[in-house]
Amino acid sequence: MQKLIFIPRPKLLKRCYLALVLCPAVLTFGCTAEADVQAGKAAAAQCQVCHGSNGISINPQTPNLAGQKALYLSNQLLAYRSGSRTNNIMSPLARPLSDEDIANLAAYFASLPAAGTP
């Protein structure tokens, strides 16, 4: 019976601990790199002609971005960039954006007050 009990060797145990410590660090860094709202604001200058200077569009065909969830915004920009969402206007605009640009733009527009906010 005693042979069934698994006693990890110290070396193996050390590796497990290392993996446990490193994996969340890598995941956190990869997924939630700190977005820079100020950098997003600067990059948003090119977006404002259509999406409005405050992220509220005056064109009925152009969506408001202000106050939208950052994750949703970045997912849409990633989708335009990858081609999984296509639009004649947005696809070419999203193509040159880096992951960092996208995270910053999303954080900036998400930080603006949504339409109808008193």
Q: Which residues in this chain contact ligand HEC in the complex, by CB under 6 A?
A: 46-47, 49-51, 61-63, 65, 73, 76-77, 87, 89-90, 93, 105
Of residues 14 and 33, the one with the C-beta less far from ligand HEC: 33
Distance in Å, CB of 65 to ligand HEC, minimum: 6
Closest CA to 43 of 88, 106, 87: 106
Q: Three-state SS string across 42-79, please?
A: HHHHHCHHHHCCCCCCCCCCCCCCCCCCHHHHHHHHHH
DSSP 3: G
Of residues 76 and 112, the one with the C-beta less far from ligand HEC: 76
Contact 95, 81 (CB under 8 A): yes
- Rounded Cα–Cα distance for residues 17 and 95 (Å): 40
Of residues 27 and 33, the one with the C-beta less far from ligand HEC: 33
Distance in Å, CB of 99 to ligand HEC, minimum: 13
Distance in Å, CB of 77 to ligand HEC, minimum: 5
